[in-house]
Structure 1
Amino acid sequence: MRIVSKSIEIRAPAARVWQVLTDFVAYPEWNPFMLSVSGTLVVGKKLAVQIKPPGGKEMAFKPTLVAIEPDRELRWLGRLVLPGIFDGEHRFELTARNGVTRFEQSERFSGILVGLLGSTFEKTERGFAAMNEALKQRAES
């Protein structure tokens, strides 16, 4: 198992950060990591996600939404073909305090291929950092 995580403090209420995070249609305007996300925010539904980690190739996948708690958490699970080969549980967590929101983006990778993808995790971490910074700029404006 491998966990990649990046967090940032955003000077905006959680509701504003959530609004920007879940406005998938606007992602091409500001998001340097997640190029597009489409689908309905309903637990059990699939999304279509396209990412491009810094220095990496574009990748597309269709994760299943597993948790939606407005202004607090969005989580999905993606799998490569079958469970246990390469699974990724992606989580966005918002924690608000005094008009500032701590935004954490993380992914827990598991499966037999995890040990073979070392450089992928570094690129993913840089992608999380770039997205977090862009989210901060957009939510604070």
Structure 2
Amino acid sequence: MLKMAILSTVIIVGVAGVRADTVKKATRIEINTAIDLPASIDAVWLVLADIESYPQWNPYHVRVDRVLQRGRKLTVDIVKPNGKSLTIRPRVLEVEEHRSLVWDGGPAGLFRGEHRFDLEPINPGCTRLHHTEVFSGLFVSYAELDAIEPGYKRMN
């Protein structure tokens, strides 16, 4: 019940309170979003780490399958706001409880993405979620930025 109350609040706050910027370079694109959530860092981590519940609240990463453990591969189903969907199989780089979740995937030098969720405590009842991705490689110009950044905002 607590989780659902937090999620409802996140959706309401997320509509108005998401900050985002995109930095583009020839072989690198950074998408940086952040939102302040009216919940403790522990409560936010519980929702973020509960990948089985993603289909209930996450409109972008609609399914994450496997185990959140460093070095393990995940299967992530994505639905972009433009209606396109894809499945990626990133590797978990970092799982630091109450702090960060990081995965990456794609061929280095061609098109690689590092996806981060970092939690920052603002005060005992407020947590800032930094939701970012860095794409790198020769083919980053093919990234659908018009669908990726809005997708991250919707998820936030």
* Shorter-chain TM band: 0.7 to 0.9
Code of the residue aligned with 1:16 in structure 2: it is: A
Shift of 1:115: 1.9
- The residue number in structure 1 matching 2:117 is 92
Q: Indicate the SS of the match to 2:81.
A: coil
**1:45 pairs with 72, 86, 90, which one?**
72
- The residue number in structure 2 matching 1:130 is 154
- The residue number in structure 2 matching 1:116 is 142
Moved over 4 A (4+): none
Code of the residue aligned with 1:115 in structure 2: it is: S
Q: Are 1:78 and 2:78 counterparts?
A: no
- The residue number in structure 2 matching 1:107 is 133
Q: Which has the higher contact order (CA 8 A, sep 6+)?
A: 1
Report if aligned partners of 1:5, 1:128 keep a CA contact under 8 Å in 2.
no
- The residue number in structure 1 matching 2:91 is 64
Q: Distance in 2 between matches of 1:84 and 1:15?
A: 37
Code of the residue aligned with 1:106 in structure 2: it is: T
TM-score of the superposed pair, with normalisation by structure 2: 0.79
Code of the residue aligned with 2:134 in structure 1: it is: R
| Sequence identity (%) | 38
Q: Are 1:15 and 2:15 counterparts?
A: no
Q: Indicate the SS of the match to 1:9.
A: strand
Gaps of 5+ in 1: 133-141
Gaps of 5+ in 2: 1-27
Measured against aligned partners, the alpha-carbon deviations of 1:57-102 in whole angstroms (never above 9, x if no partner) come to 11101100111111111001111xx321110000000001212000
Measured against aligned partners, the alpha-carbon deviations of 1:110-133 in whole angstroms (never above 9, x if no partner) come to 01111233xx1121100100000x
Code of the residue aligned with 1:111 in structure 2: it is: G
| Cα RMSD for the two superposed structures | 1.0
Q: Distance in 1 between matches of 2:95 and 2:62?
A: 21
TM-score of the superposed pair, with normalisation by structure 1: 0.87
